[in-house]
Amino acid sequence: MTGTPRTAGRLIADALAAAGVRVAYTVPGESFLPLLDGLVGAGIRVVATRHEGGAAFMAAASAALSGHPTVVLATRAVGAANLAIGLHVAHADSLPVIALVGQVERSVRGREAFQEVDLAATIGGYCRWAREVRDAAALPGILDEALRRATTGRPGPVLLSLPEDLLDEVVADAPVRTVSATALGPSRMPSPDPVHVRRILHLLLDAERPVILAGGGVLRSRATADLVRLAEFVDVPVIAAWRRPDVFPNDNPRYLGMSGYFAPATVRRRLEEADAILVLGCRLNEVAAYEYAIPAPGTRWAHVDVEPLVSRPGVAAPTIALAADARTFLREARRVLGAGVLDSAGLERRRAAMAADRAAFEDARVVDESPWDGPGVHPGRVVATLNRVLSPDTIVTTDAGNFGGWAARGLVLRRPGTFLGTTAGAMGFAIPAAVAASLAGPGRPVVALAGDGGAGMTIAELETAIREGVHPVVLVFDNEQYGTIHDHQVRRGLAPVATDLGPVDWVRVAEGFGALGARIERDDELEPALRAALSAVLPTVLHLVLDRRWASVDRFGDVEPVVLPAAPEPQPEPDAEPQPGTEPAPPDPEPEPDAEPQPGTEPAAPDPEPRPAVEPEQEQEPAPETGPDGADSAAEPEIEPEPAPEPEPEPAPEPDARDGSDVEPEIDMQAEVGAAADPEQGPEPAAEAEPEPGAEAEPDSDPAGDPGAPAAP
């Protein structure tokens, strides 16, 4: 594309619009005014927030829901410093956030100018990549690179430092090479080699206790429906990675819970017992992997990820590592399975074990049954009320804090894209994320869960919600305490320093911003108030009064564990799911990739290399998504929800393919075990060996890793 003369600010905005950016969040500054102008001119919605931290949280939430790169803007050292927490979130959660920060004019740079700091070297350190632009002629190339870094391979935040005077410069007829939205993202990765896919299926299906650990990569590639199909077809259970509970429908009998803080004890146990794990679109961060205890020593595991691990200190290398996005992997797996035969004895064994596992999990996730008659509400019953009242399309956002433990254990989510919580454990996230979710999907119910500590950090964004015409519901769990940290202190026998907070009248706070509020002191008051809040046309804050003795979902008072009623005897699950093997195979609705030789007829490949993550220049065919569409796009819902998993039967296998009774065995899962997953072969190389953010310990995490006494960030 050849550019017409325009300011550098407008050129940046046009490039962003072309890359699919639809919304930008900011606290404005005088250092980037032409850019603000340019964004509006390019049809990007610009939302002013009350704090740059809120803006960055919103950008991260928007990117998570829409899959599009999202912009956050801030001014020089002061605004950029406030962005940091949200950039860290975007890094931890692999979200394509583009931070554009106004910088001092080039003529005063390096002279201790007003609000001057090296932005790329400081705040840029929170990002995957950061540059200061010194010359307008270099802008197109730098923008190109920034967009690629943010969206290809493992997505993440990038930062551009933009000198104020540069943004005013007119860039005359410069050739502009902008990246188009359709050329970006992990879905542009090539289909994985079927030989590798088959090896991974072998690893899983030849095991006694296989499990799939699914993470954000499945959500980002909109692959939940594909994962459900695979899990149902092969009868392998799924565990969601920490803070990704919406990756698999929680009411599906194959779902065995979310890992990490406050998970039911059955989750860790099941992961430890697994003799094979498929880690799919998951970074195995410290919390999700129980302080790197998972995969347990001796567990054979496959890592399928846009940037799979080769090795990490203290963790055994994967048996197989495959660079692929979750959706293309799952579709290829389905194709490979459709051409083969499953061992029926293995299927039966897995199905029986799954019924028992699921029953144990269901018992362990009960959070509302301990006796309670006040004062204040029972936090587990709050979660039970949410389960009863919220429609399946409601988006729930969460903050960090022990209050979230009851939801982590007991909240039931049925659809992908209905949960936003950060693996960075950042307080203050829930309310801005709820505002962004409401903006992204107008009309969709959105509920934020926050403690009184976290709510206090970003409650001002209620005004942003009102100004922008959206109305999330905010539940403030008020124990007048930084309860999580107090809990740490108590468990270490320390005095409670700096963890007591004073009373806040959250109803009046809400009303002060022009929102609605209700104080909830008894369990039976919540349901009517929640229903009213969900149908209100203004944001509502529900002030949940909590007795401080609710220390966590596992502890009541400073010493007493929560006493729950005895669990009922586990009942085997009636398997009501349609059995793919017993139903007629409909035609495959998806175009299959070019005809490939049947895997069964291929010569056994001697441990071939996986295809690496796509290089930017490579194979960039158009995506099915629509590109940017100027001014109109700003008004459209931003969320691109994945359709709920279809109930239709599997297309690929023949009626008897699962028991192999009269189908030619094109893949004999039994026969190929040894060749498919040989631990001696060592891991496949990953695309890039970057430091893993998951390896960074959170200061508040519980070093003992005691699942019975967790500490939420």
Ligand X SMILES: Cc1ncc(C[n+]2csc(CCOP(=O)(O)OP(=O)(O)O)c2C)c(N)n1
Binding site residues, ligand X, CB under 6 A: 399-403, 425-428, 451-454, 477, 479, 481-485, 700, 713
Least Å from the CB of residue 430 to Mg ion: 13
Cα 540 to Cα 475: distance, rounded to the nearest angstrom? 8
**Please, are residues 487 and 711 in contact by the beta-carbon 8 Å criterion?**
yes
Q: Which range of residues in 365-373, 471-479, 605-613, 624-632 is near Mg ion by CB under 5 A?
A: 471-479
In the complex, the smallest distance separating the C-beta of residue 195 from ligand X, rounded to whole angstroms, is 44
Q: Does 186 bind Mg ion (CB under 5 A)?
A: no
Minimal CB distance residue for ligand X: 451
Q: How far is the CB of 379 from ligand X (least distance, A)?
A: 9
**Between 385 and 481, whose beta carbon lies closer to Mg ion?**
481
Q: Is 451 in the site for Mg ion (CB under 5 A)?
A: yes
Query: Taking Cα atoms as reference points, which of 442, 437, 388, 447 lies closest to residue 417?
Result: 437
Residue number with CB closer to ligand X (394 or 422): 422
Residues contacting residue 54 through CB under 8 Å, at least 6 positions apart: 25, 428, 431, 432, 435, 458, 460, 461, 464
Q: Which is nearer to Mg ion, 398 or 479 (by Cβ)?
A: 479
Q: Judged by CB, which is closer to ligand X: 126, or 248?
A: 126
Interface characters, 30-69, with Mg ion (x: CB under 5 A): ----------------------------------------
- Closest by CA to 169, choosing from 18, 34, 14, 17, is 34
Residue 484 interface partner, choices ligand X, Mg ion, none, CB cut-off 5-8 Å depending on type: ligand X
> Taking the complex as a whole, how short is the minimal distance between the CB of residue 410 and ligand X, in angstroms?
15
- Stretch in the footprint of Mg ion (CB under 5 A) among 96-104, 447-455, 460-468, 609-617: 447-455
Owner of token pair 């005004």: 463
Task: Decide whether 299 or 422 has the Cβ nearer to ligand X.
Answer: 422
Does residue number 481 form part of the binding site for Mg ion (CB under 5 A)? Answer: yes
Beta carbons within 10 angstroms of residue 408's beta carbon: 27
Residue 393, number of CB atoms within 10 A of its CB: 16
Q: Which among Mg ion, ligand X, none contacts residue 29 (Cβ within 5 to 8 A by kind)?
A: none
- Within 13 Å, how many C-alpha atoms sit on residue 493's CB side? 0
Distance CA 639, CA 394 (A): 12
DSSP letter at 256? Answer: E
Q: How far is the CB of 605 from ligand X (least distance, A)?
A: 47
Tell me whether residue 181 or residue 431 sits nearer to ligand X (CB atom): 431
- # chain residues binding Mg ion, by CB under 5 A: 6
Write down the least CB distance from residue 698 to ligand X, Å. 7
Q: Is position 379 an interface residue for Mg ion (rule: CB under 5 A)?
A: no
Q: Residue 400 binds which one of ligand X, Mg ion, none, with CB within 5 to 8 A depending on kind?
A: ligand X
Residue 167 token pair: 């943004």
Closest approach of ligand X to the CB of residue 427, in Å: 4
If the CB atoms of residues 139 and 427 are measured against ligand X, the closer one turns out to be: 427
Q: Are residues 272 and 282 in contact, defined by beta-carbon separation less than 8 angstroms?
A: no
Helix (H) / strand (E) containing 630: helix 630-635
Minimum gap (Å) between residue 290 Cβ and ligand X: 19
Joined together, the tokens standing for residue 217 give 């990569």
Q: What minimum distance in Å lies between the beta carbon of 480 and ligand X?
A: 8
User: What is the nearest approach in angstroms of Mg ion to the Cβ of residue 499?
Assistant: 9
CB of 395 to ligand X, least distance (A): 20
Distance CA 138, CA 480 (A): 52
Enclosing H/E stretch for 475: strand 473-478
- Give the range of 448-456, 468-476, 507-515, 612-620 binding Mg ion by CB under 5 A: 448-456
User: What residue 274 binds from ligand X, Mg ion, none (CB within 5 to 8 A, per partner kind)?
Assistant: none
In the bound complex, what is the minimum distance in angstroms from residue 402's beta carbon to Mg ion? 8
Q: Which lies closer to ligand X via its Cβ, residue 49 or residue 633? A: 49
- CA angle 365-367-369, nearest 5°? 120
Listed in sequence order, the residues at least 6 apart from 535 whose beta carbon sits closer than 8 Å to its beta carbon are: none
For the CB of residue 453, give the shortest distance to ligand X in the complex, in Å.
Answer: 3
Say which entry of ligand X, Mg ion, none residue 425 contacts (CB below 5 to 8 A, set by partner kind): ligand X
193-252 binders of Mg ion (CB under 5 A): none
Contacts of 595 by beta carbon, 8 Å cutoff, 6+ apart: none
Residue 539: burial class (beta carbons within 10 Å; 0-12, 13-18, 19+): buried
CA-to-CA distance for 590 and 37, rounded, in angstroms?
43
Contacting residues for 557 by C-beta, under 8 A, at least 6 apart: 549, 551
Nearest CB to ligand X, comparing residues 278 and 426:
426
Q: Which does 713 bind (CB under 5 to 8 A by kind): Mg ion, ligand X, none?
A: ligand X
Residue pair 237/577 in contact (Cβ under 8 Å)? The answer is no
- Per CB under 5 A, the list member of 194, 483, 539, 653 interacting with Mg ion is 483
Amino acid identity, position 131: R
For ligand X, the closer CB: 602 or 700: 700
- Is residue 376 involved in binding Mg ion (CB under 5 A)? no
Cβ partners under 8 Å of residue 664, min gap 6: none
Half-sphere exposure of residue 305: CA atoms within 13 angstroms, side-chain side: 30
284 sits in the region (left: phi over 0; alpha: psi -120 to 50; else beta) called left
397 binds, among ligand X, Mg ion, none (CB under 5 to 8 A by kind): none
Instruction: Say whether 241 sits in a helix, a strand or coil.
Output: coil
In this structure, what token pair is assigned to residue 297?
Answer: 């020593």
452 binds Mg ion (CB under 5 A): yes
Least CB distance to Mg ion at residue 479 (A): 4
Token pair of 250 as six digits: 């929680």
Q: Which is nearer to ligand X, 140 or 693 (CB)?
A: 693
Our finding on whether 479 is near Mg ion (CB under 5 A) is yes
Select 452 or 461, whichever has its Cβ closest to ligand X.
452
Nearer to ligand X, 454 or 610 (CB): 454
Phi first, then psi, for residue 58 (nearest 5°) are -65, -40
Q: Which does 700 bind (CB under 5 to 8 A by kind): ligand X, Mg ion, none?
A: ligand X
Asked if 406 contacts 455 with a C-beta cutoff of 8 angstroms, the reply is no
CA of residue 689 relative to chain centroid, distance? 22
Please, which residue, 420 or 712, has the CB nearer to Mg ion? 712
Only one residue has tokens 């939205």, namely 181
Site for Mg ion, rule CB under 5 A: 451-453, 479, 481, 483
